[in-house]
Amino acid sequence: MNPLNPYSSIVEELSLRIHRSLSLRGLTIELSELMSEVVEPPSREMGDLGIALHKYAKRLSLEPAQLAEETKGFLNDLPGLLGVKAISGYLNVTYSPEYIAKVTISSVRSVKNYGYVPSEKTLKVIIEHTSANPIHPLHIGHGRNALLGDTLYRLLSNRGHLVQRRFYINDTGRQVALLTFGYKLINRRPSENVKPDEWLGRLYALVNLLIELRDIRNELNKLRSRLESRELSELEEEKHRELLKKVDEVTASLGKLWEADKELFDEVSRALMEYEGDPEEEILRIMSSYERGEEWAKSLVREVVDRALAGIRETLSKLGVEFDKWDYESDLVWSSLVNEVVSKALSSPLYIRHKGVDALDVQRIASQQVLKKLNIDIGGEIPPLIIRRSDGTILYTTKDIAYSIYKFADSNADLVINVIGAEQKLPQAQLRLALLALGYVREAENLVTYIYEMVTIPGLKMSSRRYQIVTLDWLLEELYRRARDEVDRRRQDLSESDRAKIAWTIAIAAARFSMASYDPLKPLNFNLNKVLDLSGNSAPYILYTHARASNILKKAGDIEWDLIDYSYARNEVIKELIWLVMKYPQVVAEAADKLSPEVLGNYIVRMADCFNKWYESERIIDEEDKPYRALKLAIVFGVKKSIAHGLTMFGVTPLDTI
């Protein structure tokens, strides 16, 4: 019996006997395959574990019912067996509750870090996540990316894998060049009383909107004379109405920025009016000079980018999110790797000219077999991957090809996981097909695109270009404010600092758990009230359950392990709780192997529900029967240990009081 994973041990013991039966009939099958076929039946009345033998019966040319009946005889020496049924080709096994309780409590008591289940094969894994453009603060979308990525890191590390976290800094595009233009234009550093990323975000939006407003007005001026002479066509009239509407929208956004920072607004407006050149030409010059590695551009752009990253790091540190490496896109561009990728692409059999630019026709190798092997799920044709623009500048996806190659080579990684928004699903498919086309087969086959959908807050719309974003800093402060109000109301017996600490832990927990425990393939509607609800599917609810278990154990004192009477484990609720605790390490392992933190999130909520239901219906500390009391306290101990470990997998600090 492996105390690190008692559930898996029980499944293995069952599978070994079935394997022996099938082997004697001449059927060759891997034990691991059989173990994967063992499941929990739909209801406990049917048994604790079951397996369908139909496909094996077919291979042996037998009736499923016959094979199940014959195999049943091989289970007589199964440890803890209470009963076994062979029904229509299914084998269902029921275990003695006493046996399951002994196995579970022994494991929980002996294993210090219950829930840690090392994999049989240790992998070198890179997780690239967050990778926000360094032009404004992190918003809630980045938050979901960061917290999913960090949770995957924790889950995979819990399996014993060597995991490295990377942040890719996209510092060579037009957005950074536009921000740098604005920074150069006003020639001053961020204000000391504002986070640098917040200040730079305002600067970026101001420059962007003021240039946009200027361009709109120029277009309106071109139409004005024709409008006055009533020479506009219907299309031109429609365009004129749309431009007027845009003026109103941009002006409204500028008004909000003026309210946020009047001094910066006036400074940027004045500087742009006095600027004698064409802003677009200067933005292009900065972008091109930086990509060429000219020293003046390198010094200026890196200063701006690093100031933005300082603010981003500060936000991530609040959440407990760290990185092992920060990779600048510009370093790739200045190296030979991007040029090598371009050179290989230009000489590839898939090279084409598409709409006047260099491209790879990746659709030509996108057979169903290849798409299945690379786990690419894209409907319809995959368009050509553009290698570079007509002016010779390199596109983002081309640089991403180089970065993917670099990530594998730099750390000799077995697996690279990109945590990325659903809008990047097609470019990521093009990326993997391009890697395959250029001969990077290992990289293509071991690059995982971990897709997540957008996150919204009811009633709030976002636009990065207009700086209408819900920043992660605002979200955390709002969660803290609400949590603090509740803690102050409930816990006047605690000191100011203790209440602040608890409220902050709850705020971080609410953000982390809600972002990472919800199915990433579904859009997340982040409801501030629900994520802080103490009575529902939330982090505070799980924290409260852990604190409740801690309080019981604190009041009860030492557990008298040797007094435990396992016959009381026949109680249905107790039996369910013990089973949940026994299976916990297996669920953590599966959540890691399947890259599915939501599986673990749902499980610890289910455990909390079961525990709270039991607590409200049973006497625990006041139980007069000492052997029964000892069993109950052992169960509380197991639940507390499991939930505490589960919370840490989501980066949440368990609380002993709340």
Answer yes or no: is pLDDT of 232 > 90.
no
Confidence of residue 191 (pLDDT cuts 50, 70, 90): confident
Q: What is the pLDDT of residues 246-271, one digit of tens each?
A: 989 899 989 989 998 999 999 999 99
The average pLDDT across 280-307 equals 96
CA nearest to 601, candidates 537, 511, 536 = 537
The architecture that CATH gives domain 478-649 is Orthogonal Bundle (1.10)
Rounded-to-integer distance, Cα 414 and Cα 7, Å: 28
Asked if the model's pLDDT at residue 637 lies above 90, the reply is yes
Give dist(CA 471, CA 168) in Å, integer: 20
Model confidence over 122-153: pLDDT tens digits? 999 999 999 999 999 999 999 999 999 999 99
In 302-341, the DSSP E strands lie at 325-328
Q: Looking at residue 380, what is its pLDDT? A: 85
Q: What is the pLDDT of residues 427-467, one digit of tens each?
A: 999 999 999 999 999 999 999 999 999 998 877 666 655 66
> Is beta strand 90-95 parallel, antiparallel or unpaired with respect to 49-52?
antiparallel
- Phi first, then psi: what are they for 124, rounded to 5°? -95, 115
- Cβ pair 597, 650 in contact under 8 A: yes
Give, as one character, the DSSP assignment of residue 422. Answer: G
Other CB atoms within a 10 A radius of the CB of residue 375 amount to 12
The predicted pLDDT at position 643 comes to: 98
User: HEC string of 476-522?
Assistant: HHHHHHHHHHHHHHHCCCCCHHHHHHHHHHHHHHHHHHHHHCCCCCC
Can you read off the two tokens belonging to residue 223? 């139409």
Structure confidence at residue 536 as a pLDDT band (50, 70, 90): confident
pLDDT digits (tens, 9 = 90+) for 388-418: 888 777 888 999 999 999 999 999 999 999 9
Token digits of residue 233: 């066509």
Angle of CA points 547, 551, 553, to nearest 5°:
120
Distance CA(532)–CA(597), nearest Å, equals: 20
pLDDT confidence tier of residue 230, bands split at 50, 70 and 90: low
Q: Write down the residue that tokens 């996108």 correspond to.
A: 366
Mean pLDDT across the stretch 22-29? 92
Region label for 165, one of left (φ > 0), alpha (ψ between -120 and 50) or beta (otherwise)? beta
Paired strand residues for 215: none
Whole-number pLDDT of residue 229: 62
Break the chain into its structural domains and give their ranges. 6-95, 124-169+325-456, 174-319, 478-649
d(CA 114, CA 641) in angstroms, rounded, equals 7
Contact in structure between 442 and 405 (CB atoms under 8 Å)? no
Residue 593 identity (one-letter amino acid): D
pLDDT digits (tens, 9 = 90+) for 26-48: 899 999 999 999 999 988 889 99
Q: How far apart are CA 160 and CA 127, in angstroms?
A: 15
For the record, the structure tokens of 645 come out as 């470990």
474 pLDDT higher than 80: yes
Encoded tokens for 2: 């492996």
Confidence of residue 588 (pLDDT cuts 50, 70, 90): very high
What span, in angstroms and rounded, lies between the C-alpha atoms of 378 and 167?
26
pLDDT surpasses 60 at 356 = yes
- Kindly list the distances between the CA atom of residue 274 and the CA atoms of 202, 213, 277, 375, 449, in Å, as whole numbers in the listed order: 20, 16, 9, 54, 47
* Range from 74-83, 316-325, 457-466 carrying the lowest mean pLDDT: 457-466
From residue 257, alpha-carbon distances to 245, 264, 460, 471 in Å are: 19, 9, 17, 15
pLDDT tens-digit readout, 477-488? 999 999 999 999
Spatial separation of the C-alpha atoms in residues 28 and 427, rounded to whole Å: 42
Find out whether 549 and 621 touch, Cβ atoms under 8 Å: no
Q: Radius of gyration of the chain from Cα atoms?
A: 30
| Global confidence as pTM | 0.94
The encoded tokens of residue 376 equal 């690419």
pLDDT at residue 19 in the model: 96
Q: CATH assignment of 6-95?
A: 3.30.1360.70
Convert 121-141 into a string of H (helix), E (strand) and C (coil): CCCEEEEECCCCCCCCCCEHH
Residues 6+ apart with CB under 8 A from 71: 18, 21, 22, 53, 86, 91
Structure tokens at 343: 């050179």
Q: What is d(CA 46, CA 490) in angstroms, rounded to the nearest whole number?
A: 45
Task: Decide yes or no: CATH 3.40.50.620 for domain 124-169+325-456.
Answer: yes
**Predicted pLDDT of residue 559:** 96
Residue 123 has a pLDDT of: 98
| Tally of CB atoms within 10 A around 383 | 13
Strand partners, 456: 525
Do the strands 325-328 and 162-169 form a parallel or antiparallel pair, or are they unpaired? Answer: parallel
Mean pLDDT in the chain?
93
Same topology, domains 6-95 and 478-649? Answer is no
